[in-house]
Amino acid sequence: MGLIDSLKKAFRKPYTTVSVAQAKELLGSGAVLIDVRSAQEWRTGRAPQARHVPLDRLQTSTAGINKNKPVIAVCASGVRSASAARILAAEGYDAYSVRGGMAAWRQAGEPVR
């Protein structure tokens, strides 16, 4: 393996960033959606199937998340969900982050409750 390949591998994201449509496909196949926003943000509206696991509690709260299912993280814009997906991937989860977060979710016309 050459230096370039080694560097690409070293800096590769351990998770996958997905669109809202791709996230919906994954959910249809049994994936779990976790919303990593704050409690205040959670109360402003969330995807109906989302579980609330704030980012600051994620490392202590992963015990309840099934490792045999893909896990999709969502936040307001996609920054915190990327951090969550990185944490989940390091814990052995098949992890995804929703590109654009709940802003993209709403813009795609997906339900929010």
**With bands split at pLDDT 50, 70 and 90, how would you rate the model's confidence at 61?**
confident
Q: Which domain holds residue 43?
A: 13-107
Q: In this structure, is residue 7 part of a structural domain?
A: no
The predicted-structure confidence for 98-110, as pLDDT tens digits, reads as follows 999 999 999 999 9
Asked if 31 is an active-site residue, the reply is: no
Asked if the structure places residue 30 within a domain, the reply is yes
- Mean pLDDT for 49-72 is 90
Asked whether residue 51 is domain-assigned, the answer is: yes
- The pLDDT of residue 47 is 97
Residues in CB range of 112: below 8 A, 6 or more apart: 45, 46, 47, 48, 102, 105, 106
Q: Which amino acid does the sequence have at 62?
A: T
Kindly report the CATH number assigned to the domain that includes residue 61. Answer: 3.40.250.10
* pLDDT score at 6: 57
Position 2 in a domain: no
Active-site residue, from 75, 82, 88, 95: 75
Number of domains in the chain: 1
Report yes or no on 112 lying in a domain: no
**What is the share, in percent, of the chain residues with pLDDT greater than 70?**
89
**pLDDT attached to residue 12:** 66
Looking at the chain, the whole-number percentage of residues with pLDDT higher than 90 is: 79
How do residues 12-51 score in pLDDT, each as one tens digit?
688 999 999 999 999 999 999 999 999 999 999 999 999 9
